[in-house]
Chain A
């Protein structure tokens, strides 16, 4: 099955990932994450001084600011801020830094669909770069259902999204995936178990018109693809640490 996006041949193929950490000078941590033609830059400052109005006595305040590529921040950006903030709040070990602020700025650099997923992945890399203590690591993937073929397409481009019947954004953390892969080893002889493996959903946002089955099929496809994202994040962090280690040795 061919895709509108000519660079890809299969419906479940993701666009090439790219990431770069610690590229900003002023922020405590920063990272850029690309899904092909979509790119998001994220900066993290914190734990830092918090305004009294925002102060929480038992944990750090997490503030997310999302900025669009074109125009002034609008309602859609507010919704994006909320999504990221509410997903990160239980993920960040914020009780370790009470009465401080962790400020996260998410800037769209290139937009070719799936910005929310790109932003989630950039944010987690930036938080890792800033050394903010985390409970687990997340990975996000967007998928859509084509209105003509009813096929699930992963990581769609803007052009493909125009033909979507529904779009689904998923976030999975790596805790449940690790448990999943351990299960896989145990269930080596039972192939069925592997397939019935399901990811626990950390964040999900779906709109359009779709059936319950389609939703869970998307979740399943998203979960599989998120493993690739988790793997990539792991490698990115590993490479960065190796490089830093070499620099301290030199």
Chain B
């Protein structure tokens, strides 16, 4: 099923509103939609809602044999297949260019930024390592899948606990969650994606575009940063050309957003941890 293009009226209305300095959902240009984080009963399951966009991330782990040339490295894999649940335009088994781009972006932001310490996943060098798997399920598509997915993925990794292990010589014992407190993963830093959409030859730029805004946009750019003001990834694939100044302006905006989002993630994790402590007692 092909995605229907917005009508001329919708398009003109949105563009005119932007010219007048307003977005049709009432947000300011540099506002994110309301972000909601909800944790499942298990460790490593988190549902993220960014406005009407909805993403579920689930982290799981298993013990496997490492590659012979990298005997101490654990594995971190992402599954970002887009589900037709999010939008009927996504087909099973056939990826559109847009889908490939979204998947690559998420992988770049999360994996290449070395947010997770894969060496810390080693149990016995050359024999056993942890393989961490992040399944990202897109449930509802109202624009900006990348930012929502990254928030879901990193929050799930931070929330996840793997079973504790003890190694005596060659023997490896994996303790169940009841036997011993599970161990959190060592996450180096929290990369957060901020996506910008450009209109009017780059005159207007907004963050966190909705689906309609994405359909009408002239260009976009996704920045991945952490709270230490380090840029992890920057992706601008096509669209209108941008001035260097504008990109620097984006960075300044992005830093503010990243700080806000990181704080919200931390707060949500803390609340959940407290809840778990209470229920254990």
Q: Which residues of A contact B (CB under 8 A)?
A: 24-27, 37, 41, 43, 45, 48-49, 65, 67, 69-73, 101, 103, 105, 107, 109-110
Contacts of A101 in B (CB 8 A): 1
Which of B54, B60, B79, B85 contacts A72 (CB under 8 A)? B79
Contacts of A43 in B (CB 8 A): 85, 139
Contacts of A49 in B (CB 8 A): 1
Which of B42, B60, B86, B88 contacts A110 (CB under 8 A)? B42
A65 to B91, CA, bound (A): 10
Contact B142 A26 (CB under 8 A): yes
Contact A69 B58 (CB under 8 A): yes
Question: Which A residue sits closest to B41, measured CB to CB?
Answer: A37
Contact A110 B139 (CB under 8 A): no
Contact B88 A24 (CB under 8 A): no
29 A–B contact pairs at CB < 8 A?
A24-B54, A25-B140, A26-B86, A26-B88, A26-B140, A26-B141, A26-B142, A27-B85, A27-B140, A41-B85, A48-B88, A49-B1, A65-B83, A65-B84, A65-B92, A67-B83, A67-B137, A69-B135, A69-B137, A70-B58, A70-B60, A70-B133, A73-B92, A103-B88, A105-B84, A107-B56, A109-B40, A109-B47, A109-B56
Chain B contact residues: over half helix, strand or loop, or mixed? loop
Q: How far is the CB of A131 from chain B (nearest CB, A)?
A: 16
A107 to B87, CA, bound (A): 14
Residues B133-148 near A (CB distance < 8 A): 133, 135, 137, 139-142
**A48-B1, A65-B92, A72-B81 given; A24·B41 CB < 8 A:** no
Q: How far is the CB of A9 from chain B (nearest CB, A)?
A: 21
Q: How far is the CB of A217 from chain B (nearest CB, A)?
A: 32
Contacts of A109 in B (CB 8 A): 40, 47, 56
Question: Which A residue sits closest to B87, measured CB to CB?
Answer: A26
Contacts of B47 in A (CB 8 A): 109
Contacts of B52 in A (CB 8 A): 25
New A-B contacts (15) at CB < 8 Å, excluding given A67-B83, A110-B45 = A24-B140, A25-B52, A26-B88, A26-B142, A41-B85, A41-B139, A45-B1, A65-B92, A70-B60, A70-B133, A71-B79, A101-B1, A105-B85, A107-B85, A110-B41
